[in-house]
Amino acid sequence: MVTVTQTTTKPTQAILKLRAEGRIAESDLPTEAKMAEERLAGAFRIFAELNMDEGVAGHISVRDVVNPHAFWVNPYGVAFDAMTVDDLVLVDHDGRVLEGGRPGFGQVINAAGFAIHGSIHRTRPDIHAAAHPHSFYGRAFSSLGRNIDITSYDGAKFAHTVKLYDDFGGVVLDDEEGKNICKALGDEGKGVVLQNHGILTVGSTVDAAVAYFIRLEALCRAQLEADAAGGARSLNNPEVSAVFDRAGGEKEAYRQAQELYEWIDDITGGDYK
């Protein structure tokens, strides 16, 4: 029996299936399902306010709470600063749109977004969210074809968990490219520099993936400026380990994200929910 809490949020198809099977009551809906979708919609608003959106490019996803073989993602062509829960689309691992989105064009998804996020959610069941807006400094740094140097406290909070994918395959439209990105990410990766493409972060929650992305974007900017000034001293392993052990976990990333959501709720009045 699934543990649920009553809410007024409309049910997803997965919830309706559970009801039909008699596994949850007619009036029940898991609170976690509502929360995950709201956090995802809020993430787009956060990135828009931070100028980390770029036209129709970029995507963020979160695994469905009830159906682990499907994930919510933004539809093609909806601006980050206009995103709401009702715009989000639920897609299965075969690329089929199951529900959500506005009727018509609002249910079209970005093919490149599916190739990347579909592979991540399919091959890494421990990952529940992935963020890949096309941010300015992430794109600029990725053109260098190198990884971040650990030269600061904030860099040490990532330690070895930022990886480099050093093969640019153009527009990501096939499953193989998505698999290669997943391979580069590895089992411990929280972020990856996609050569000539930008950066991507993952987490067990949308909140953590958002915090990781903002932190990695800032590191890309700092790296570019430090390189322009002649380079910076890299931290040694004991220094990195001391910081990572204390502040490098997902709980800390999740905690850091809470002020971002409080901020975006204050700006928008929570109209994305």
H helices of 127-236, in order, are: 136-142, 153-156, 175-185, 206-228
pLDDT at residue number 157 = 95
Neighbours of 48 (CB within 10 A): 18
- 81-106 in b/e form (b: 16+ CB < 10 A) is eebbbebbbbbbbeeebbbbbeeeeb
Give mean pLDDT, residues 188-205.
Answer: 94
Is the pLDDT at 39 greater than 70, yes or no?
yes
Give mean pLDDT, residues 135-161.
Answer: 95
Is the pLDDT at 6 greater than 50, yes or no?
no
pLDDT band, residue 205 (cuts 50/70/90): very high
pTM of the model: 0.86
Chain segment 70-102, per-residue pLDDT in tens = 999 999 989 999 999 999 999 999 889 999 988
Above pLDDT 70, what percent of the chain? 85
Give mean pLDDT, residues 179-189.
Answer: 89
The answer to whether 49 and 16 have CB atoms below 8 angstroms apart is no
pLDDT band, residue 178 (cuts 50/70/90): confident
Give the chain's domains with CATH numbers.
12-268 (3.40.225.10)
The answer to whether 59 and 116 have CB atoms below 8 angstroms apart is yes
Mean of the per-residue pLDDT values of the chain: 86
